[in-house]
Amino acid sequence: MNHLKTFTLLAALTALFVGLGYLIGGPTGMLIALVFAGGMNLFSYWNADRIVLKMYRAQPVDEQHPNAVVRTYVADVVQMARDAGLPRPVIAIIPNDQPNAFATGRNPANAAVCATTGLLDMLTREEIRGVMAHELAHVKNRDTLTMTVTATVAGAIAALANFALFFGGGDDRERPGGIVGTLALMILAPMAAGLVQMAISRGREYEADRVGAEIAGDAGSLASALQKIDGHARRIVNPTAERNPASGQLFIINPLAGRGADNLFSTHPATGNRVKALMALGLKMGVAPRRAEFVEARVSTSVPTTPSRSGPWG
């Protein structure tokens, strides 16, 4: 996805936020929303990554961590970042049983990559490398700012729609469409924001898979990791993501459990399609995928009773 298209979609999100303010509160509501949107975008540029890290209780780690698995995780991220020509990012772990990971930050010099304790517990070293190479690819491609700002604006749209539901808007004489218009926008605005998020995120996931496989030098381990994460993430609830669904696009696999309309407009491509693309890339790289892991390129729906190896948290 080129920068012009991304800018256009971000502008559409901002316009949607301002338009929602107009339809809820008339000209006064539009003006307030316009000022708020400008301030929110500026604030998001500088601070959204810190907000996301704090929201998920991310804990920075380094080579001195007492756990050997964490030390290996840190060393591998540092080595891959160096090989990719990137500054060393902040490296963190998130205390959550759901296997997942994300990257955030306004640029490569101010980036952070995070893995959940569930991911470190379940995957092999090679699979963890593949996942974190994907996150470093987002940093290298400068996706992190776009994804974080998009999540912030989309979350604000949802919050504004909820405000309209519980507190109403301005005077019906100022508010176009009256209460009917407000109720319609309350439902349609978050759906539209979800569609824009989807358009921004899906193409970036495929590209991050490709670049991540090149950074790790191994497409097969990332494909294997995606299959394992997808099967477990659907069954292990991530409470923070459920409370803040707009942040779901930051993760390598959709962290939402599919309750209600959470997955109506998924920001992630189908895992099976991503695995197929990685299989093809692995063959081009001259590394054939392991047959046991890629039968018909289908995502496993069964969850093993024990992790793939002894994890550091239990």
Q: At residue 104, what are phi and psi to the nearest 5 degrees?
A: -150, 170
Compute CA distances 99 → 123, 128, 177, whole Å: 9, 10, 45
Quick check: is 135 catalytic? yes
266: DSSP letter: -
Which residue(s) pair with 114 in the sheet?
Answer: 92, 102
Outline where DSSP puts E strands in 9-137.
59-60, 90-94, 101-105, 111-116
Q: Which two tokens stand for residue 254?
A: 């959709």
Compute CA distances 204 → 31, 176, 265, whole Å: 33, 37, 16
The dihedral through the CA atoms of 97, 78, 132, 224 has a sign that is negative
Q: Which two tokens stand for residue 214?
A: 């090149």
The dihedral through the CA atoms of 265, 267, 271, 274 has a sign that is positive
Return the axis-axis angle of helices 219-233 and 125-140, rounded to nearest 10°.
100
Q: At residue 299, what are phi and psi to the nearest 5 degrees?
A: -80, 130
Q: Which of the residues 63, 126, 127, 135 is marked catalytic?
A: 135
Residues classed as catalytic: 135
